Amino acid sequence: MTRLSASNLPENIRHYHYDRDAITTGIVHFGIGNFHRAHQAIYVDDLLNDGATQWGITGVSLRSSSMKDALAPQDYLYTLVTLSDVTECRIMGPLKNIIVAPDQPQAVIDIIAAPTTKLVSSTITEKGYGLASGRVDVTHPALKSEFACLQAPTTIYGFLARAIIQRFKTAADSKLTIMCCDNISAGGDLLKVGVEHLLRKHNSDALLWSQDHIGFISSMVDRVSPATDETLRNLIKIKTGRLDASPVSAEPFTQWIIEDNFAGERPAFDKVGAVFVDDIEPFEQMKLRYLNAGHTIASTLGYLCGDTYVHESLRRPEILNFTRQALYENVLPHAAVPAGYVGAAYIEDVIKRFQNSHLPYANLQVGTDSSQKIQQRWFPTIDRALRSKASLPYFEFCLGAWAVFIQRSIINNELSDPKKAAFKEIINTNDIAPYLKIANADKFIFYNQTVFIKAVNRYAQKIRENGIKQTIIDFEC
């Protein structure tokens, strides 16, 4: 069987119809993983099909060469599979190149500094931004190193700062927009803080220039795209008759809300399904507080039940009911939704999407970097509710379950988290406080609420003693 390539496209599968040789790089994207290739790249592919040839993508990997190694031999093409009751395949062509930053740091700087690049975007997950309590941690070792010397950048902030300095010197008339596409609040503002922190130290003239020539914006992205496995690769072989080293799969649903504050030329993403808005925050908050929070709840409980996938966990009536009621009773009263949305309807849509059995999304994948994620997904809602003197039994239970998840996944050697070493040091501690502190909960109000924390500890202990299934049943009674 032959490998997918530009000269070997399957005739029976939908694919791009533009001349890829005529495409120029208008977008540089940090974090060229599955989500970007199943979400933003589709909107770009549609634009290119409409003739907007200036918006090709060059990907940047901040760490591994694995994606470049997989896609370069197949001309950076890959197959997108939409999984639901009907399976659809599509060959994607918007990627022009992938640069591995540790191997070619100057190439990353050069492509961002090029005046033809109009947009830089990022999906590097929460931990990629070096945050503490939702803010850029300027004491993070990598950022401290770049603050001392910017010659060898390693973070997104360092590469952007170096590129802005070069662009200021070589393309002073150009403008660039930098857009966060991750599940973090005000991601564009965070990128601005980190970049300006470095510019202020290393080139104050470039910092001043950037005020009029560089824009930082946020966006709300939404589409479930699980990790690629051999089952998906084998499906591609059957459907397309081609070998694809790195296909991606996704649910039918996709949404992209973009803050309309571009510094220069704006891609016409609104013509291919995206929505431009003046204020992105209500949309960010809705996704974080409902969809992302619910995903973490279901996956945490599901992992403790021994389930591999989220949809399997939601086949359990007790987990389905718990997740739904947690959103209705402990989130809905304290998390507003944007105009035009109904909170209850959004919750039901979220649950239905999680139940898509055609889309095997692993509980451990959702649980990756959970110490960073729950700071955005759970903690602000808990604080808001406690300020209004509300009771939060579901979140008390969830935090207890999360601590047990950390313990259990370490014991099983399955934890993937930037704070793993710190958690290992307290693995024999059952008190909830040290676990929460490692997740920066001490920066939130609830951490010092004695009654609340005692309840969290009680649930954690019950889960350890009686198991998650019985503890949920007892909770519901």
Residues of the chain short of pLDDT 50, as ranges, are: none
For the record, the structure tokens of 264 come out as 């220069």
CA dihedral 64, 68, 69, 75 (to 10 degrees): 180
**How many Å is the Cα radius of gyration of the chain?**
23
**Burial environment of residue 224 by CB neighbours within 10 A (0 to 12, 13 to 18, 19 or more):** buried
Can you give the pLDDT at residue 476?
75
Q: Please, what is the Cα angle at 268 between 286 and 30, to 5 degrees?
A: 65
Q: State how far the Cα of 62 lies from the Cα of 104, in Å rounded to an integer.
A: 10
Can you give the pLDDT at residue 477?
57
Contact 91, 79 (CB under 8 A): yes
Contact 445, 383 (CB under 8 A): yes
For the record, the structure tokens of 29 come out as 């994207």
Cβ neighbours of residue 86 closer than 8 Å, sequence gap 6 or more: none
| CA 388, 391, 395, 399 torsion-angle sign | positive
For residue 243, what are the β-bridge partners? 3
Q: State how far the Cα of 331 lies from the Cα of 162, in Å rounded to an integer.
A: 42
Q: State how far the Cα of 314 lies from the Cα of 372, in Å rounded to an integer.
A: 24
DSSP 8-state secondary structure symbol assigned to residue 334 = G
Q: State how far the Cα of 48 lies from the Cα of 280, in Å rounded to an integer.
A: 26
**Burial environment of residue 342 by CB neighbours within 10 A (0 to 12, 13 to 18, 19 or more):** exposed
Please write the tens of the pLDDT for every residue from 234-284.
999 999 999 999 999 999 999 999 999 999 999 999 999 999 999 999 999
**Burial environment of residue 176 by CB neighbours within 10 A (0 to 12, 13 to 18, 19 or more):** buried
